[in-house]
Structure 1
């Protein structure tokens, strides 16, 4: 049976992959993002496999925008069965060197807009007998990494929000709240990020695909669960952060510089935090490394860790 699915953040990365996945399932789609032209491209991709699609250019941080999106979905398809929220932006930089307005816009987009989506979706679901809200979290909602303070703070906040909503939803039969938390994913969000570090960020290996995360999202729509983790090392990182916090804090900065930042220089800029960059929007970001790059990175890890340990011992 086909469903009506709203996808916010549908023009790039996980959101775009999820839109395609739902389309191939035969679901009706309401697609939302900031770039009208790219949104029209995604609509065409989904219509090509036979899906009914409504695209609604939307800035989820604008007052009233999320409610207007829900109204458009109801007007076109009569209601919403599943709402998938993937919209997010990122900024790299030391906390004290990142402009205040950039930090606040990251939090506004990644946490407060997610709360606005949840508020509208849950009110609709309660009034109409049920539905499933799927939020896109991150392993960084359970651990921390330097130079990404706005994103980390938002994902920790989103994790807490999701748990609170799940507890409240227990009193509302038919309403489900899920959070899908990936590790490193090959999406353009790293190139699109604001940057005040001088080096373009990148996802540290191992890197999964947006399509794999999209399949986890669709599976949550079919079989709602509290949280789904996508990434082979997520459990290991969470264990180290929780059980060995001292060792984690010693190692995380040099490892971030080694594996989480590329060697590509960049001048300070706001990226796509405030305005979209359609030229950079796609499903994948081109970060899946070749074998030689992986071998070099893995080979450098023991020397890097050894150097950090020796400095700490001295």
Structure 2
């Protein structure tokens, strides 16, 4: 069954992890485009402020305080959306957190907690969303990562959770296809993004962590999410770096391992001594860190992603490329000296 998705202005969208980063950027962008929103996160104070700001701009927004690692709280969020708006059309599983440190150093308790959010949060959200979406159609959008297809040292559990998200998402998609359910299932795979990812993470290292380049703007991920809410896509790589990493992992895994060994320890370690290890959002939100889209990376942040734009809009890209080549050919023909037919000199 072909899935028909509504324009954003006709949709109700549920976004988990909506209090900062990609979730917050997506909420603001969706509100600008006329969607009605259900914002879900653990930080009720931040959600209330965000919802109020969006309402002041004319958006219809409600918020629900919930920990996605707890299925009953996720179900309560879905019920609230149905009671208030009559249902929802797109569900975005975005909530996530990381831990920096060697696998042997990270406590099992912390590892399990990360999986509660990153993996079980996606499972809870997906299965609750699908119960509703199968009856009316819509989109399920899960946030994976470039690390869904490979792994990095010092973020072993995060890498493992994103592998698990990919496996679950792909399996669920096939089952829904077999049923003929009118549900589009998309896995978004961003490269490193300038969000509050690092400040939220728990750190076991002796220095503060940092993201390895290249780093992209969260707006690019939000745009990909909203594209998937309107047009079915299987996978969306945000940033050419994400696609390159995935392709290298598939075709030359040993080469990528060697590069990771050489580069990724250094590129994830800053020169700043580590702060308090308990100052993180793994178990509970930290005041002052929500309500922000970006950390404010001091280096280059790519605000455009031509590769992603080309994959999302291949026909438009082909037309633009063709027009560009035609103009180039015209310019070359006019600038090239004409040969005459007179006598040779």
Residue of structure 1 in register with 2:327 after alignment: none
Distance 2:146 2:300 in 1: 24
Paired residues, what number? 290
Q: CA deviation at 1:290?
A: 5.0
Deviation (angstroms), 1:58: 1.0
Task: Tell me which structure has the larger Cα radius of gyration.
Answer: 2
1:246–1:33 Cα change, 3 Å: same
Give the alignment of 1:84-233 within 5 angstroms.
84-126=92-134, 128-170=135-177, 171-233=179-241
Q: Deviations over 1:212-259 (max 9, x none)?
A: 110110011011211100012122222332332223222213311222
Q: Which runs of 5+ in 2 are unaligned?
A: 1-8, 302-345
Residue 172 to residue 48, structure 1, CA distance change in 2 (3 Å): farther
Distance in 2 between residues matched to 1:185 and 1:217, nearest whole Å: 14
Aligned residue number for residue 311 of structure 2: none
CA distance, structure 1, for counterparts of residue 164 and residue 233 of structure 2: 19
Displacement after TM superposition at 1:288 (Å): 4.9
Shift of 1:267: 4.2
- In the superposition, relative to structure 1, how do residues 243 and 63 fare at CA in structure 2: closer, same or farther (>3 Å)? closer
In the other structure, the counterpart of 2:19 is 11
**Segments of 4+ in structure 1 off by > 3 A?**
none
Kept in 2, the 8 Å contact 1:196–1:267? The answer is no
CA distance in 2, matches of 1:229, 1:247: 21
- Distance in 2 (CA, whole Å) between partners of 1:277 and 1:242 is 38
Tell me if the contact between 1:92 and 1:194 (Cα under 8 Å) persists in the aligned partners: yes
Structure 2 Cα separation of the partners of residues 100 and 90 of structure 1: 14
User: 1:220-299 counterparts in 2 under 5 A?
Assistant: 220-267=228-275, 269-270=277-278, 271-281=280-290, 282-289=292-299
TM-score, normalized by length of structure 2?
Answer: 0.81
- TM-score in terms of structure 1 length: 0.89
Unaligned runs of 5+ in 1: 292-314
CA RMSD in angstroms, aligned pairs only: 1.5
